[in-house]
Structure 1
Amino acid sequence: MTTFGAILKAHHIDYKLTNRSSLDEWFYSILDIPIDELSIFDISRSIRQDVFLEYVLPRAEVFLYEDPLAGDYDGQLLYDISMLTEAQPPSIMAILKRISAYLSQLDKHNLDSQSIKSIEKISALVRN
């Protein structure tokens, strides 16, 4: 059962809540929740913050398989993933390639224009 807290501990990082920002409080609140149990909100926020992508992107992949338009608004998870940069390690790019392969098979007629743009950005990201 992998948690952010366990990952930090494995890297000998002693995280303590010091800054009372909303981001810091959010992160502290999910430290001991298994990644497989994190909500779509938590997964999206982790992606936006570039936090433990190698652990959260597989969970994002599951959410996308269940609903390609997953998120607090339609297509939010797609959008968040599409904002990642090419400067990702090979392990992250491998996950993104799997996600892109799945997304390329979707019927685009059922998607809004922003979701289609996000899918195209993800596809371009893994091609480079």
Structure 2
Amino acid sequence: MIDILIAEDQVLVRQGLKMMLETEAEFRVVAEASNGKEAVEWCERKSFDLVLLDIRMPEMNGLEAGKIIRNQHPQTIILMLTTFNDEEYALEALKNKANGYLLKDGDSFELIKSVKSALNGGLERLH
């Protein structure tokens, strides 16, 4: 079983991501956060195989949270999620050693494919 944390400030988007991911029998969303600070707190309490972080969130953005999570849990797969196709965000995410950078305009097939690729050691960028 792959334990997943989703950090996304928009509840409907977060619920949609959870539903899409859990169509795969081996994926289990075990925690949800509405900002980067909550995501970091979750990672202090529990180990996750995969953390999906929205880049723009209140209190602490996904880039900052990803950097902290990467330092504390180097084995955790981190995928950044955003609505913006911005090279600066992608470069910052990769500099912080994220395993991938996904745009929210993709469909469930692309999301699942990217998550599986990242879990198998690939570096993923979804258009």
Which of the pair is proportionally richer in helix? 1
Q: TM-score, normalised to structure 2's length?
A: 0.34
Q: TM-score, normalised to structure 1's length?
A: 0.34
Which of the pair is proportionally richer in strand? 2
